[in-house]
Amino acid sequence: MSPPIIPDDELHVTYILASGPGGQNVNKVATAAQLRFDARNSPTLSGRIKHRLIDVAGSRMTGDGVIVLTARRFRSQIRNREDAVARLHDMIAQASAVQAYRVPTRPSRTQRRKRMDNKQHRSRVKQGRSGRYTD
């Protein structure tokens, strides 16, 4: 199952001042992108994906169910916006992946027997190392 595509009208991007390299440009231009996505009220996502997205987003999700991502890796607004949107899509893809069902198994009778025989053998080897014998 492929992850759903989030339409742009559900994403709210604001630009804030970024720290880091960029010289005087950092103080003048708001290049960091802050993306907000209301996951709880999104009509695009299914209930299962919304539920899993809570675990995947972790501290990046507010109590109201809004995912807040801040991208400041690049020196341009456009690249930071693309980075934030890509990170959101990765998060949704991770939440929409279906986990494989684990079938619990038990060791076979032969495996249990081998394990017990090996334990007995190791025990005898260690008992043979003790000072019971005389020279």
| pLDDT, block means (10 residues), the chain with 135 residues | 75 82 71 86 84 85 87 86 90 86 93 97 91 60
- The phi and psi torsions of 29 (rounded to 5 degrees) equal -115, 135
Instruction: Identify whether 124 is part of a domain.
Output: no
Position 4 scores a pLDDT of 76
Residue ranges making up the domain that contains 79: 8-96
87 belongs to a structural domain: yes
- Does 1 fall in a domain? no
Q: Does residue 123 form part of some domain?
A: no
Would you state the pLDDT for residue 50?
85
What pLDDT is stored for residue 38 in this prediction? 86
Q: CA 30 from chain center: how many Å? A: 29
Q: Does any domain span residue 72?
A: yes
Q: What is the CATH number of the domain that holds 59?
A: 3.30.160.20
pLDDT (0 to 100) of residue 119: 97
Number of domains in the chain: 1
State if pTM tops 0.85.
no
11 Cβ contact partners less than 8 Å away, ≥ 6 residues apart: 35, 36, 37, 85, 88
- Report the pLDDT value the prediction gives residue 116, as an integer from 0 to 100: 97
DSSP string, 12-74: EEEEE---SS-TTHHHH---EEEEEEESTT-SSS-HHHHHHHHHHHGGGB-TTSEEEEEE-SS
Does 116 map to a domain?
Answer: no
Q: Specify if 131 maps to a domain.
A: no
Query: Could you tell me if residue 88 is inside a domain?
Result: yes
